[in-house]
Structure 1
Amino acid sequence: MARFSASQMKFIKVLSRGESVLDSLEIPPMFCKEYGHKLYEGLKLSVGDIFEASVKFNRQSEVLLGMKRVYETFKLKGGESLIFDFSSSKCVRLYIIDTDEMEVFYPKLIFPNGSVLCPLDRACKWGLKFVKFMTCMKEVVDTIVRILK
C-alpha cells in the first residue's frame, strides 16, 4: 500500500469547452511527475456524497478516462474549475467551481431505475467546501453620535 501525504495530492484544472465533450481529462504534468506513480489505475471519483464514478488513470498519457459521465451528469460546458482532492491512492473527491466562482449546487440526480437522489434529501457529509458569500446590499455603517447640550 502506498504511503504518502494525501493532503498534498490535489490539483486544479479549468475545463475547456473542447474538453467538456471528451471522455478524458489531461492531468497536469507536474502532478503526474510527483504523484502519478502512487495512484492506482482504477480510481473512485466522488462528487459530494451524491455521485460516484469509476475512472481510470492512464500513466503513459497522463489522463483520466471515463470523465464524460461526470461532465454530462453535472452539465459541464467548459469554464468550470475542477478541484481534484485525493483522499488516498484510489479515491478522489471532485469539487466543481462554476464560472461565477462559487461551488455548484449539486443537482437532483435521477437514476436509470427511476430512483431520485436530491442533495437536499440528506446532509452532504462534506458540505460546500468552496463557498463565496456575496451581498447586493449597500454597506451599513453604524455610528453613535453624542449630542452635547
Structure 2
Amino acid sequence: MMRKVLFTIFFFILASQGDSLYCYRCNSNHPGCGTPLNWLWYWGETCPEYDDKCVKIIERKGAETIITRECLSSVRSFRTDIPADHYEGCRPAAKDVRLGHYVNNSIHQLDIHRDYYDEVTWCFCYFDHRCNSAKNTTVSILLVSLIIAIEYFIS
C-alpha cells in the first residue's frame, strides 16, 4: 500500500512541473556550453514566463562562432534583432534600421549598429524541455507517466 502512495505522490509531482519550460541558459564562452553542449554542467533552468520559448542564437564572424542559449523573454529586453516569426525552427536575424541612427560615434569597438557579426541565426523551440541544445536529452513526461501507471495497476 505504501508503494502505491509513493508512486501516486511521484506522479503528481511530475505532473505539476508542466507549468513552465526548462531551457539551457548559458553562453559558449562558458566551459561546456559550446558545441556539443555538456548537459551534465547545465541542467536547465525554468523560464520566467509561462508561454516562453527556448532560444539558441548563433553568431558567426569568419571562424569565430558564439552560441547563446536562453529564454526568449530574457533576451527580448536588450536584443532588437529578434525575427518576427517565433515558430519552431531557425531563421536569420532581423535588421533594425533605426538602431544607432541618432548616434555619432567613431569608436567601432562599441558596435552601435550591431553589425559586427556576418551571420546571426535565431533558433526557436518550445515543445520540449531543454530543446535549445544540439541534441535532445530529455525524458518524455508521457513515458514516465505510463511507466508509473503500469506499475501502479500491476502491483
Which interval holds the TM-score relative to the shorter structure? under 0.3
- Judging by fraction of residues, say which structure has more helix: 2
- Judging by fraction of residues, say which structure has more strand: 1
TM-score, normalising length: structure 2: 0.24
